[in-house]
Amino acid sequence: MSPKWRSGLIFGLAIAVCGAAIYLPTLRQRVKRTAKLVQETEEQARRELTQAITGNPNGPRVKTKLFWASGADGAKLTAVTVELPLADDPVLRAKQVLNTLLAGPVDADLRTLPPDAALLEFYLMPDGTGIADFSEAIGTSIPSGIESEQLAVDSITRTLEANVPQVRQLKILIHGQEVDTLAGHLDLTGTFVVSTKPAATPPAKPAKVS
């Protein structure tokens, strides 16, 4: 290879290296942005999927009590009554009220749960144990602390108590897994009492008269 070609090749390589050095940070930023977008889209898709489960929108609207933080004292909960077309099925009903709770109040300061958290699934066991499966955001986006974590769980349990009497106690999972704590403080290994009232017995069917 002649010296002319060699210097041309070195020059070309130098330009390529410089170009790559300039372009790489931009590329890295784009990759990060895309990853974030994908994550957000997945989260959004999950929320849409779960929130799509609503009762009959044309059905009768029922007064529903939701527990959000009180404005005066952020450490306490206050009941807000809204009208929702709640389903009769306790599982659907629990999903509806919890999704509305997650959607949050108009005033963001009254939120008890992070806006990007989603209810992935809700199950109801025959003994009245409700199992609420939330996305990771409920643990990662909530303000860390005993007070804030307890308030979040209280808002869930009190909302269920007010609207879904079939739920006696609540187990919280995060992305299908049992975890030690919500965000480093509150114990999620056990169940939370939702209602201490005696379980309502279904009305007895009238005996057939032959």
Partner 1 sequence: MLLGMRSGLLVPFSNERTGGRSRFAVLTTPFVVCAALSFAGWAASSPRRGPFGTRAKQAPPVQSPVAQAAGTAQAIPASPAVQPVGLNVVVLDPAHGGTDYGARGTEGIRESEVVMEFTVQVRRALESQGFQVVQTRMGNENPSFDDRSAVANAQQGAVFVSLHIGSTGLPGTVRVYANEELPAETDATGLIPWERAQGPFLSLSRKLGDFVQGQMALRFKGSPNTVQSAAVRQLRTTAAPAIAVEVSSVTVENRNDLDRMAPGVADAIAKGVAAFKPSYVVAGAAGVRP
Our finding on whether 19 is near partner 1 (CB under 8 A) is: no
Alpha carbons 69 and 75: distance in angstroms, whole number: 7
Residue 89 or 154 having the CB closest to partner 1: 154
Angle between helices 3-51 and 90-103 (to 10 degrees): 130
Residue 54 or 144 having the CB closest to partner 1: 144
CB neighbour burial string for 155-193, b if at least 16 within 10 angstroms, e if fewer: bbbbbbbbbbbbbbbbbbbbeeeeeeebbeebebeeebe
Number of residues forming the site for partner 1 (CB under 8 A): 22
Alpha carbons 10 and 143: distance in angstroms, whole number: 55
| Selected range binding partner 1 among 34-42, 55-63, 127-135, 149-157, rule: CB under 8 A | 149-157
Our finding on whether 76 is near partner 1 (CB under 8 A) is: no
Return the residues of window 158-187 that contact partner 1 according to CB under 8 A.
180-181, 184-187
Q: What is the DSSP string of 11-33?
A: HHHHHHHHHHHHHHHHHHHHHHH
Structure tokens that stand for 157 in this block: 């349990």
Residue 133 or 149 having the CB closest to partner 1: 149
- Binds partner 1 (CB under 8 A): choice among 96, 99, 100, 148: 148
- Binds partner 1 (CB under 8 A): choice among 97, 98, 120, 153: 153
- Binds partner 1 (CB under 8 A): choice among 105, 192, 194, 195: 192
Alpha carbons 78 and 109: distance in angstroms, whole number: 13
Q: Which of 125, 61, 126 is nearest to 96 (CA)?
A: 61
Our finding on whether 70 is near partner 1 (CB under 8 A) is: no
To the nearest whole angstrom, how small is the minimum distance from the Cβ of residue 175 to partner 1? 18
Residue 176 or 184 having the CB closest to partner 1: 184
To the nearest whole angstrom, how small is the minimum distance from the Cβ of residue 85 to partner 1? 33
In the complex, the residues that contact partner 1 under the rule CB under 8 A are 74-75, 143-151, 153, 180-181, 184-190, 192
